[in-house]
Amino acid sequence: MVQALQFKGIIPPVSTIFNQNRKLDEHGMGILIDYLIEAKVNGLFFLGTGGEFSQMSFSERIEVAEFAVRYVNKRVPVLIGTGSTSTREAISLSKHAESIEADGVVIINPYYWSLTEERLFEHYREIAESIHIPILLYNFPNLTGQDLQPDFVLRLVDEHSNIVGIKETIDSISHISEMITKVKGVHPHFSVFCGFDNHQLSTLQLGGDGTISASGNFAPQLSTEIYKAFTNGKIDKAVSFQKQLAVVSQLYNIDTPFVNVIKEATKICGLDISTYVLPPARMLSEEKIKQVRRTLEIAKVL
């Protein structure tokens, strides 16, 4: 039986909102979640890179996952990031996500040790065999040091039916194109998402399925309009919004890591949230906050 496409469209990687003590701010999270659902996104991804998962303890990640699933309350699909440098921890986090009825998990490959392809395959195999809910792979070679190649991904999908998609955070449209051709060409149910704003329209035109990018936190209307225009055959309109989104992408150059930029942009766009981040990330200086505002004004987001 042919499997149906499970995930598509615009799925923002939601910022985790903290109070001044760097504890989960449930009120602020609720404001952001409600805003994104009202913006008609197609799902929400918690504990990704922009969600600062890499700076959290195991218990903090559990707390965020439980709140997210409970608060969203089935209004849109919820994906939980469960990647780790440890296979055992990734399995524990994934089993927990399944137990709280998350709709799927997103798993970045280990990002400290260099792994042979076989060891990486075994890592994903053990996780896939430990749960039944859908898995999206997360390819971010600039941070992990290891690219998930299309042939490798195809082998995983051939053997594990619950691996149903990938987030391609890679600045190579040819890589995304090859992923679509080689993997989606064999498994039409497999979802291919780009992680960089600049590739959204190109990914859709090549046969991909959507975008999981941080700008969805503060300007979800741009990504959702591109997606809607494309699916309705209004390419000129999609191109116009894509040009606007390209200006927004300049925000990522203001600071590294960019999690602080996303939170400040979200606040400037009108959401009453705190902008605390987990160290070693730091809050933006007033001058950089002004740069964020200027960029948003140029992009005509404000």
* Structural tokens at position 192: 């291919």
Residue 107 host element (H or E)? strand 104-108
8, 16, 35, 49: which one is catalytic? 49
Is 112 annotated in the active site? yes
Query: Residue 10: what are its φ and ψ, rounded to 5°?
Result: -110, 115
16, 82, 124, 138: which one is catalytic? 138
Is 138 annotated in the active site? yes
Taking Cα atoms as reference points, which of 199, 152, 195 lies closest to residue 173? Answer: 199
Is 252 annotated in the active site? no
Report DSSP letters for 109-148, one per residue. PPSSS---HHHHHHHHHHHHHH--S-EEEEE-HHHHS---
Residue 211 host element (H or E)? strand 210-211
Is 49 annotated in the active site? yes
In the chain, DSSP finds a helix count (H) and a strand count (E) of: 12, 9
Measured in whole angstroms, the distance separating CA 101 from the mean position of its chain's CA atoms is 19
8, 167, 184, 263: which one is catalytic? 167
**Active-site residue set:** 49, 112, 138, 167
